[in-house]
Amino acid sequence: MKILTLAGDGIGPEITAVTVAVLERLDRRFALGLRLEPREVGLASLKRVGSTLPDAVLEDCRNADGIVIGPISHLDYPPRAQGGRNPSGEMRIGLDLYANLRPARSYEGLPHWGRTPMDLVIVRENTEGFYADRNMYQGVGEFMPTPDLALSVRKISARASRRIALTAFRLARRRRRRVTAVHKANVLKVTEGLFLEEVRKVAREFPDVKLEEQLVDSMAALLVRDAARFDVVLTTNMYGDILSDEAAELSGSLGLAGSVNAGEERCMAQAQHGSAPDIAGKDLANPTSLLLSAGMLLGWLGEKHARQNCGAAQAALESALAALLRDPATRTRDLGGKLGTRDFGKALMEKIT
């Protein structure tokens, strides 16, 4: 299986290097048959070839089984006409990676900030909604008719709502069989109404899975009050982005949350956090988020290709990470430990059996 690795910007090269080394270890241990091939995106690519996402790299991603991408500094990119393309956003659209899956779980031995521990997954629609850079066939969803008037268009389609709902219900069937659909239909009656209509249709196809519905504002409060009640949280693009960051922080840290962007044909692993240029090159970054994301990619590949060894590799990685996080002596500095990025990676590989 061909996996492209895109290091990205800031701390991206450091945590991607650790992730690649761990994937190589898992490949040897579980006979996964991985071919890990690096490609260049981001500021380094802009300097070398004039684009943060060369067309050739996007085409290579289209022909790969999976992708691992490090954090990117897209806010520092020049305008698109000058080569500044957001690799993450463009690949979500160009590769039709419509499902963003973001788990948030508490870890034994680490403090969490909610009132209760949690083990949930936010299933976020990834290709439309309020995101102006990805919801139009041509142009963008934000525009200014006059200098003092700005407008934004939100797109919600029945097709996208149905397929993200199917993703959530199928996932819930493998977990605790509960889906919470998050919306704001009391205000956005048409768009949220269409989303909920499709979710309810899908729910009728899964009578063994319980559906509940929550307004997005009450959901934000309930995550703090009682996160343990939630299993699979299904929502649209912008709400999912916000709630997944909240859930990750409540579980202990944004640096402990994995994330994949998945479609029918391929999957991209991506850390939930940003590129942290202030600590780049200092061996301070915590690679856990990207490592967990890479593990989720292995799990996705295992399901797609009916490869049990991929699922076993994901389980071994997650177990080894949990063991390191339990012990203060084997944590990174952001979690109160003393290990740098590279030493954390070495300690992890020693744990993988």
pLDDT tens digits, residue range 238-272?
A: 999 999 999 999 999 889 999 999 999 999 999 98
Q: What are 44-67's pLDDT values in tens digits?
A: 999 999 999 999 999 999 999 999
Residue 135's pLDDT is 75
Catalytic residue among 2, 184, 210, 346: 184
The amino acid at 305: H
Domains of the chain with bracketed CATH: 1-103+264-353 (3.40.718.10), 112-251 (3.40.718.10)
Give the rounded percent of residues in the chain with a pLDDT score beyond 90: 89
Active site residue 245: yes
Active site residue 327: no
Active site residue 9: no
Active site residue 131: yes
Query: Hey, what are 243's tokens?
Result: 């709630």
pLDDT, average across residues 312-340: 95
Residue 130's pLDDT is 85
Structural contact between residues 66 and 91, judged by C-beta atoms closer than 8 angstroms:
no
Catalytic residue among 47, 189, 201, 217: 217
Q: What are 109-164's pLDDT values in tens digits?
A: 888 888 888 999 999 999 998 887 777 777 788 899 999 999 999 999 999 999 99
Catalytic residue among 131, 155, 231, 239: 131
Of 211, 209, 198, which Cα lies nearest the Cα of 174? 209
Catalytic residue among 245, 283, 334, 343: 245
Active site residue 217: yes
The amino acid at 274: G
In degrees, rounded to 5, the angle at the alpha carbon of residue 253 between the alpha carbons of residues 26 and 274 is 75
DSSP 8-state symbol, 332: B
In degrees, rounded to 5, the angle at the alpha carbon of residue 200 between the alpha carbons of residues 234 and 132 is 50
Residue 52's pLDDT is 97
Of 98, 100, 97, 96, which Cα lies nearest the Cα of 122? 100
Query: For 37, how many CA atoms within 13 A lie in the half-sphere containing its CB?
Result: 13
Q: What are the CA-CA distances from residue 8 to residues 11, 39, 57, 69, 73 (Å)? A: 8, 9, 13, 7, 8
Residue 266's pLDDT is 94
Whole-structure pTM value: 0.94
Residue 116's pLDDT is 84
